[in-house]
A = this chain, B = another copy of it.
Amino acid sequence: MTPAALAEGVLAGDQRALARAITVVENREPGARELLSRLHPHRGGAAVVGVTGSPGTGKSTLVDRLAKAYRAKDLTVGVVAVDPASPFSGGAVLGDRIRMTGGDMDVFVRSMSARGSLGGLSAATADAVAVLDAFGKDRIVVETVGAGQNEVDVVRTADTVVVLVTPQSGDDVQMLKAGILEIGDVFVVNKADLAGAGRTVRDLEEMVHLAGGRVGSHRDGGEGAGWTPPVVETVATEGEGIDDLVAALDDHRALLEDSGRLDRRARERDAETLRRLLREDVGRLVEAELSARGGLEAAVDRIEAGETTPYDLAAELVAPFERLERELAGE
């Protein structure tokens, strides 16, 4: 299918076109850029929620409950489940999740993994979100495991970030230390029926209080002001507290909308996409230029033979492009 036909299918609400389009952008297949370019003007309707937390905090269950709660309000939902640690995509996890969401066609679940580079994973996630958004999903949930930089990058593709912890797990303190506290817009203490839940809630509230305006995914540029991340208690397996979570997410969304932050985020997102595309293109140009000169190995042979250095060779390879840039600037 051509990118144009695929984009048409997505915009017409065809589920199979949606699945195919996400595969195209996930795998960076030829035509991915044209597809995304065609879908780009149709973005903007979806509220994007990121959910992160250590393994065992009940993330998947919470996300499923959240999806069901949205469906009960007649909102359509897309879920992108990202596991940066896994070299595999789809398969068992995807199957499980489809079963869990009961085959509801208006909850689209997609698992993604670290198939390509890790930097590429957050880009692929952002692209999958773009496709779901253009398709017309009302809510998109990006779910990722853990607390490393890669997970933080992934979850930052969302407008609102939920950080999930469980009572008194030593791991959570570690996670919060690792910078996760700073990106949370809403904190959830799941398994709140376990002993020590009250203590965990108080600890989190204290941390949020102590951190003042330095908490929340939009703190850059002072945007954290005006929002104190709430701490919500849930028992996801029982569906308890999910309504409170939905309300907290709605509150944060309203704040983003009313304050013009959503528009600023759209600008930032587009600027970042443009920079990323340019970096990719430039990398490709450099590789092509190296190939034209006999390839990297031949270049390194010359360096090791003492005929040139990486510095001189780079200058030599880039010189024609620099002349072109001077010409273009002089136009």
Q: Taking beta carbons and an 8 Å cutoff, which residues of A are in contact with B?
A: 33-34, 36-37, 40-41, 148-149, 174, 178, 263, 266-267, 270-271, 273-275, 277-279, 281-283, 285-286, 288-292, 296, 299-300, 303-304, 306, 309-315, 317-318, 320-322, 324-325, 328-329
Contacts and interface: CB of A to CB of B under 8 A. Distances in A.
Contacts of A296: 271, 274-275
| 10 A-B pairs with least C-beta separation | A37-B311, A277-B314, A40-B309, A273-B310, A274-B310, A281-B318, A292-B329, A278-B286, A282-B282, A37-B309
Contacts of A281: 286, 314-315, 318, 321-322
- Majority-rule SS of A interface residues: helix
Nearest to A311: B37
B149 A310 contact: no
B328 A324 contact: no
A298 to B, nearest CB: 11
Contacts of A283: 278-279, 282
A76 to B, nearest CB: 24
Interface-centre pick from A286, A300, A317 (highest chain B CB count, 10 A): A286
A169 to B, nearest CB: 13
Nearest to A170: B170
B325 A289 contact: yes
Contacts of A33: 311, 315
A240 B288 CA distance: 54
